[in-house]
A and B are shown apart, each in its own frame.
Chain A
């Protein structure tokens, strides 16, 4: 499982890097209101990339990804200060170690059921607010939030690129198309999947931590399955398993739902639901995948 062997970066990575650097450079001058919107967008992008690592790259649909985000949020709320030491990776290894034994629909069901069960258990624990959540008294510091989530997202994008283009990428792709054949060729499927799942859980936890920080506390709503839905919607719309897809998906889902949120509550999910259904049925490649399919010139540029 070596990650070396990348000589040059592709144009998509440069594009995302440019976008992120411009954001980081201008952040101190962006109005606070816009900055908070941007922070939410980056949190959702981080979540989308984290789900992309397991669902997009290996084809294992995880419905329970919200559980990592919620654990990250509760971990932050429980131990403000020791923020970069996430127990989430350990949780992800545990859940992944069990659920990854199942394939296809069984994996999807196991993740969903584990997520619901975990939320019931956490909400019963007295130290974790007894189902009421934990309210923190930490200040309003949008720039710190911004740069923290920025760093997490940047590392995640680079890792995604590394995984898709390094040696492990061949293994990952072979698992997605035919796991048995991949195993026969000597790909250690269990290890690759567990590695991706743990990584994915770690980043979702990081995003959850920042989410709790921006919300100044954590509430049982952190376990809301709609977060799982939104993550899945983002990578489906953007393009599963692509490098640019989760970012485009995050923008395409978050910005309209933010606008609809102020107009009519609940309405945004009706539209997201219809769009996800139609895209899954008729254009399963998503935006990035379709662009690559129908415009051959873009194939060398978009990844």
Chain B
């Protein structure tokens, strides 16, 4: 049995890691909530965000935290492009997404994922890369915490908090939330549905790619074209755990999964098994509380 100090250290690390998981899932959550679309290529946009941070470091010496706003700006543009390329045709003039449209977007974004992974592999090779940036550790009580991870966790919570303020306190944010609840009613009060949905989707991509940049702090040598195959399932599980469309749900789901993976490996002996267990919590949650852990 693991001793208490080790348990506490893993718990703390799990919470820090959970924060960054929460951000990458938050982007998916927004797109899912607003457009009612599951972006299967989500992991690939995380990967692009991570590569963005890598190249900004390589060319200009940016550290991952500095590249977050740059990645976020790129993400906004990518999100607008994604909305008009993939979603606009399916959503235009409709009151809700039908089963047929749902299948079309699932398959189309699957094709996009395939394209992105292999295009990146052809462009920048399939080798693992990473950003050499480690600001050291800090002692909290008797637990050593990586300072980089701490910064990332603070920024992650800040990003989720800011998006929450935007969605609840501004006119546009309220319009986006209204759109996600009832499209015809939104149009009745004079909100442009296309503009609203495009902004909502763009915001989702903005947060996703910023999350990709934040994630690089945790991955000293872990940036490679197919990394989305791990982080997309993580994001899906987190969104379902927290409840799709619930903005604080991403944080709850992210912290839960981070703790399950990090503390779980202490008990089952391997990080792969712990990840599998974390993933499989999706099934009972979907069966028993399909609306997510949050009320």
Contact = CB atoms under 8 A, between A and B. Distances in A.
A and B part of one assembly: yes
B118 A267 contact: yes
Given A104-B99, A105-B102, A269 B110 contact: no
A24 B11 CA distance: 60
A274 B115 CA distance: 6
Nearest to A118: B276
A114 B282 CA distance: 9
Contacts of B230: 116
Contacts of B103: 59, 61, 284
Contacts of B99: 59, 104
B110 A229 contact: yes
A277 B108 contact: yes
A292 B181 CA distance: 38
A276 B107 contact: yes
A109 interface: yes
A2 to B, nearest CB: 27
A113 B237 contact: yes
A281 interface: yes
A120 B283 contact: no
Interface string B268-295: 0010110111011011001100100000
Interface string A171-212: 000000000000000000000000000000000000000000
- Chain B interface size, as a band, is 35 or more
Contact of A232 (B86, B107, B117, B121): B107
A277 B112 contact: yes
A225 interface: yes
B272 A105 contact: no
A114 B280 contact: yes
B111 A277 contact: yes
B106 interface: yes
- Chain A interface size, as a band, is 35 or more
B236 interface: yes
Nearest to A274: B115
Contact of B118 (A109, A266, A279): A266
A266 B123 CA distance: 11
B158 interface: no
A112 B117 contact: no
B286 A280 contact: no
A167 B279 CA distance: 38
A110 B281 CA distance: 11
Contacts of A161: none
A110 B110 contact: no
Contacts of A104: 99, 102
A127 interface: no
A92 to B, nearest CB: 16
Closest 6 CB pairs of A and B: A273-B115, A276-B111, A273-B114, A277-B111, A280-B108, A120-B276
7 contacts: A61-B107, A105-B102, A116-B233, A117-B276, A123-B272, A229-B114, A284-B104
Interface of B: 38, 40, 86, 89, 99-100, 102-104, 106-119, 121-122, 126, 229-230, 232-233, 236-237, 240, 270, 272-273, 275-277, 279-280, 282-283, 286-287, 290
